[in-house]
Amino acid sequence: MYSLYVHVPFCRRRCSYCDFNTYAGQEHLQSAYVDALVQELAALAASAGEALPVHTVYFGGGTPSLLPPAHVGRVLEAVARHFALASDAEVSLEANPGTLTLPYLRDLRAAGVNRLSLGVQSAHPDDLRLLERDHDYPAVVRTMAWARRAGFENINLDLMFGLPQQPLVRWQRTVRLAADLSPEHFSLYALTLEHGTPLAHWVARGLVPQPDPDTAAEMYLWADDFLRQAGFQQYEISNWARAGRACRHNLQYWRNLPYLGVGAGAHGFAAGVRTANVLTPGAYIRRMKDGRPRAFPRTPATVEARAITPEDEMAETMMMGLRLTEEGVSRSVFRQRFGRDLEAVYREPIRRLIAQGLLTWSPDGERLHLTPRGRLLGNWVFREFV
Ligand code: SF4
């Protein structure tokens, strides 16, 4: 089974913390870009030589909700035409609350999108201003109501913590208000200052204080506790869901299973090859217009293709799988996939990380996963498997 990622690299304007592959002021390219996406889907299917089974589709960005529903529908029609799309496929779309209306949401639902991921970030105007987000919290409340009326039964809210000048009580209020909206899923991300972003620049010049990592850790632990009591289960370092509502698309990444990526800068992993597409929308459109057929999973837009050795794949399986806080990495699944026992391959790092209280085995010895302390020090743990 494959997952399919569709990158939509358009935003109305850039948020202060963002280093994603996205562009403001390029809306005039949207129509040609969607043509190119359809061409890339056709190219992938032609080189695969069969209708590959796809069980999740994810429109990420950028701001996919800037695309008219008819464009989203065109992409989904192409997916259904060229791939064996599961009848119960999860079809997600990332959206910014400020860009949505009730008719838009109805049309999006009718086009086949069945899961929304809303970039809320905060309920407080000062946080939203610092992040240069394009919406206020009342827009989030309105959007949730419209999304339910439009028939969306699977909604994620993205929130950010550890912001400069964000006190713990303000974060607690954001989480409480967001939980009152009864989404099925939460993604909570700690702010990271990405090089080259305006926010990192402001902090470097002393115009905005450094985020405080101790407060961020406190916020994370508080939110985990609060969400558990509110009926959500943490299943990944940054993700909590109601029963049965974990994001199937992202689980595919964390289980290190194959996915195809279409669009500018999209990445893929299939047939033992990791691929990356050309970054800018203009170059992407040109390549898809001019391109010749290439061997699967490459397309005319591919600018990097790296064959993965079994050693790489094992290390990636550990690093990604350990993000899954409950599931972790299964000994039997690992053996089935690689023909080796994971404890034999990684004896030293596992012994060390268990002694440091960062990893533990499930009581039946089948699954290796992070301890609660390990969840706070995930990057430290993952490095041990490189
Ligand atoms: S809306 Fe998202 S992708 Fe676009 S600039 Fe803001 S954070 Fe980046």
Give dist(CA 225, CA 272) in Å, integer.
39
Residues sharing a CB contact under 8 Å with residue 51, sequence separation 6 or more, in sequence order:
45, 82, 83, 84
Which among 2, 16, 19 has a CA at the least distance from the CA of 265?
A: 19
How far is residue 348 from each of residues 309, 328, 342, measured CA to CA in Å? Answer: 21, 18, 11
pLDDT tens profile 190-235: 999 999 999 999 999 999 999 999 999 999 999 999 999 999 999 9
How far is residue 97 from each of residues 58, 105, 196, 280, measured CA to CA in Å? Answer: 18, 11, 26, 25
pLDDT tens profile 79-137: 999 999 999 999 999 999 988 999 999 999 999 999 999 999 999 999 999 999 999 99
Residue % of the chain over a pLDDT of 90: 98
170 lines ligand 1 (CB under 6 A): no
Quick one: pLDDT band at residue 260, thresholds 50, 70, 90? very high
| DSSP designation for 15 | -
How far is residue 303 from each of residues 8, 26, 260, 283, measured CA to CA in Å? Answer: 18, 22, 15, 11
- For the beta carbon of residue 147, count every other beta carbon within 10 angstroms: 25
- Angle value at C-alpha 185, between 183 and 189, nearest 5 degrees: 115
Quote the pLDDT of residue 292: 85
76 lines ligand 1 (CB under 6 A): no
User: What is the arithmetic mean of pLDDT over 47-51?
Assistant: 95
Residue % of the chain over a pLDDT of 70: 100
How far is residue 312 from each of residues 96, 309, 336, 353, measured CA to CA in Å? Answer: 36, 5, 17, 20
pLDDT tens profile 4-34: 999 999 999 999 999 999 999 999 999 999 9
Amino acid, single-letter form, for residue 341: D
Give dist(CA 6, CA 28) in Å, integer.
19
Quote the pLDDT of residue 86: 98
Residue 290 pLDDT exceeds 90: no
- Angle value at C-alpha 321, between 319 and 325, nearest 5 degrees: 110
Most informative mutation of 12, 13, 15 for ligand 1 (most atoms within 8 A of CB): 15
128 lines ligand 1 (CB under 6 A): no
Most informative mutation of 63, 65, 118 for ligand 1 (most atoms within 8 A of CB): 63
User: What is the arithmetic mean of pLDDT over 178-184?
Assistant: 98
11 lines ligand 1 (CB under 6 A): yes
Quick one: pLDDT band at residue 386, thresholds 50, 70, 90? confident
- For the beta carbon of residue 92, count every other beta carbon within 10 angstroms: 25
Give dist(CA 151, CA 106) in Å, integer.
7
Can you tell me which atom of ligand 1 is nearest the CA of 19?
8
CA of 164 to the centre of ligand 1 (A): 18
Give dist(CA 333, CA 297) in Å, integer.
25
Quick one: pLDDT band at residue 291, thresholds 50, 70, 90? confident
Is the dihedral angle over the CA atoms 58, 60, 64, 65 positive or is it negative? positive
CA of 62 to the centre of ligand 1 (A): 5
Q: Reply yes or no: is the peptide bond before residue 62 cis, omega within 30 of 0.
A: yes
Can you tell me which atom of ligand 1 is nearest the CA of 61?
3
pLDDT tens profile 139-176: 999 999 999 999 999 999 999 999 999 999 999 999 99
Quick one: pLDDT band at residue 40, thresholds 50, 70, 90? very high
